[in-house]
Homo-oligomer: A and B are copies of this chain.
Amino acid sequence: MKLTTKSEYTLLALLYMARQEKDKFVKIEDICASCDIPKKYLELLFLALRQNRYIKTRRGTKGGYMLARPAGQITLAEILRLMDGALAPTESVSTYFYSDTPISREEKVLSVFKEIRDYISQRLESLTLADLV
C-alpha cells in the first residue's frame, strides 16, 4: 500500500465533482485551478476513471466531466485501488500473491500483515464519496 498523489489528486477531483449540482459537467480547468493539480496530469488520471466508468464526459463548449454514479455508490477502496494498487501493506499479503518465499513461511508475520490489510480494506470499503463531502 502506497498512496501517492494519484490517489490524492483523484480524491480531490472526485469530491469537487460530488459537490456540484446534479447533471452539471465541470471543466477540468476549473478542478485544476481549485485543487491545484497540473492539468495534463489530471487528464491522465481522468482517463482511467472514465475507462472504469466512474465519471462520464462530454466534449466541446459546455463539455466537461461529472460522476457517472451517485457519490454514495463510489467507495474509497475502489478509487484507491484503481489509482495506487492493492491496499495490502506488502505484496506478500496481497490477495493474489503466492510464492514460496522465506516470508511466506513466517506465519505470524503474515497474519499480522493480513490483519492490517483487512482492517484497511473494510474501513475504506465502508466509505463512499458521499460520506466525505
Q: Which residues of B contact A103 (CB under 8 A)?
A: 8, 11-12
Q: Of the listed stretches A40-48, A60-68, A105-113, name the one at the interface; the rest are far from the partner chain.
A: A105-113
The residue of chain B having its C-beta at the shortest distance from the C-beta of A37 within the complex is B102
Copies of this chain, how many?
A: 2
Number of residues of chain A lying within 8 A (CB) of chain B:
34
Known contacts A102-B12, A131-B108: A90-B123 contact under CB 8 Å: no
Contacts A12-B106, A101-B36; is A89 near B127 (CB within 8 Å)?
no
B102 touches A1 (CB 8 A): no
Which residues in chain A, 41-76, are within 8 Å of chain B measured between CB atoms?
Answer: 76
A132–B11 CA distance with the chains assembled, in angstroms:
37
